[in-house]
């Protein structure tokens, strides 16, 4: 048996060598694997000793936690996750990670080839690359925590080139004329919902959660500070917007203000907390109920917009606004987007820039109403 101050190596009956070492807690531990030669075992001991001295040592006992268990705990402990995001993460974990062979792998034994094979196997059974990209990014984020915070592994094995990319098909861009046609085709109580969503680039959860108090006097501005999310077993839940940049005050294009005021007068109670867009009984709108109440599929088919999604309204508004010549920062602030570089999270468009965007959009709406329908 070879001996050294830090640990020792001994030959097993099989002829291979086992290394034992003293961990930071003073306890003797076996190496996680055996070695073909005494020299290899002693080299491993030397490397491990340096790692412990420098604080880079990874406890192999702790890294035996299974991938599915670690990711589940990561979701539970992740600060600031919106309810809808947490629901999505749990679904991705259960459907595409925990239920596969990858879920039963120990975190410390997870490798890039394993992840590459997992992705190939999921594609082979018909899982879309878009969904897999979301599952891969969830796994990568959890493993980053395992490296940086929990010190379970020394490097993130999620290194599969292109696995995080979502190649979503391009959505059609609605014209101003098409948006007005859609607004005219739905029941009158939802006409302003269509216009406001497009011309102020709102998300469904944001526009459906608007209350009377969110509009300034004269409907010159609208404050976006909350959103509805729909959770299984809980129904509609009021949450914060999708991102910190989502909390914003937008200028309502002047050409739409009379429409908004008329809607408030006709369909909305006087209570500041009254919801602006509701069902016929005054109940908050659910996305699925809205599609039924306005006959979305039939309406869009009747005006030649078959296949149009509600989100296409926001997409159109974003692109219209981009034509006004504003900076990327101003546009992102209007849309309520976070920038990946994080610098723009706390930056907002100036009031002047926001008003110029709204004025341009208002002019587009005015020209349409006055007969220039070529937009």
Give the model confidence (pLDDT) of 212-251 as tens digits.
999 999 999 999 999 888 777 777 888 877 666 678 899 9
* 35, HSE (Cβ side, Cα atoms, 13 Å): 19
Residue 328: pLDDT band (50, 70, 90) is low
Question: What are the domain boundaries of the chain?
Answer: 2-57, 63-148, 176-369
pTM for this model (two decimals)? 0.60
Phi and psi angles of residue 128, each rounded to the nearest 5 degrees, phi first? -70, 150
At residue 153, the pLDDT reads 85
Is the Cβ–Cβ distance between 347 and 329 less than 8 Å? yes
Burial label for 346, CB within 10 Å (0-12, 13-18, 19+), is exposed
Report residue 197's pLDDT band, with 50, 70 and 90 as the boundaries: very high
Tens digit of each residue's pLDDT (9 = 90 or more) over 116-172? 999 999 998 888 888 999 999 999 999 999 998 888 888 899 999 989 887 666 677
Give yes or no for a contact between 134 and 96, defined as CB atoms under 8 angstroms apart.
no
Counting Cα atoms < 13 Å in the Cβ hemisphere of 32 gives 11
Integer CA distances (angstroms), 317 to 64, 334, 342, in order: 50, 10, 24
Which has more pLDDT, 54 or 261? 261
CATH class (in words) of the domain with range 176-369: mainly alpha
Q: What is the largest CA-CA distance in the chain?
A: 95
């Amino acid at each position: 048996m070879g001996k050294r101050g830090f640990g020792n190596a001994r030959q097993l009956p099989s002829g291979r060598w086992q290394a034992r070492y003293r961990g930071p807690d003073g306890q003797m531990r076996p190496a996680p694997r055996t070695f073909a030669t005494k020299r290899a075992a002693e080299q491993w001991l030397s490397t491990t000793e340096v790692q412990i001295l420098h604080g880079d040592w990874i406890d192999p006992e702790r890294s035996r936690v299974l991938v599915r268990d670690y990711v589940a705990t990561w979701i539970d402990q992740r600060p600031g996750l919106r309810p809808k995001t947490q629901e999505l993460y749990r679904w991705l974990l259960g459907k595409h990670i925990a239920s596969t062979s990858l879920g039963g792998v120990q975190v410390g034994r997870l490798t890039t080839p394993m992840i590459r094979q997992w992705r190939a196997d999921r594609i082979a059974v018909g899982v879309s690359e878009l969904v897999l990209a979301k599952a891969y990014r969830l796994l990568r984020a959890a493993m980053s925590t395992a490296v940086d915070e929990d010190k379970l592994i020394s490097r993130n094995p999620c290194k599969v080139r292109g696995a995080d990319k979502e190649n979503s098909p391009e959505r059609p861009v609605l014209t101003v004329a098409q948006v007005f046609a859609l607004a005219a085709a739905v029941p009158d109580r939802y006409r302003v919902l269509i216009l406001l969503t497009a011309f102020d680039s709102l998300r469904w959860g944001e526009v459906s959660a608007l209350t009377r108090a969110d509009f300034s006097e004269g409907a010159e501005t609208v404050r976006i500070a909350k959103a509805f999310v729909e959770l299984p077993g809980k129904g509609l839940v009021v949450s914060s917007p999708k991102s910190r940049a989502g909390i914003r005050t937008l200028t309502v294009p002047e050409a739409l203000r009379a429409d908004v005021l008329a809607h408030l007068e006709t369909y909305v109670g006087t209570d500041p907390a009254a919801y602006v867009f509701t069902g016929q009984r005054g109940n908050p709108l659910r996305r699925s109920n809205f599609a039924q109440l306005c006959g979305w599929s039939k309406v869009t088919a009747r005006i030649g917009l078959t296949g149009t999604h509600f989100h296409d309204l926001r997409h159109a508004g974003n692109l219209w606004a981009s034509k006004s010549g504003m900076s990327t920062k101003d546009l992102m602030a209007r849309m309520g987007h976070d920038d990946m570089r994080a610098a723009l999270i706390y930056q907002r468009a100036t009031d002047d820039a926001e008003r110029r965007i709204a004025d341009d959009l208002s002019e587009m709406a005015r020209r349409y109403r006055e007969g220039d329908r070529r937009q």
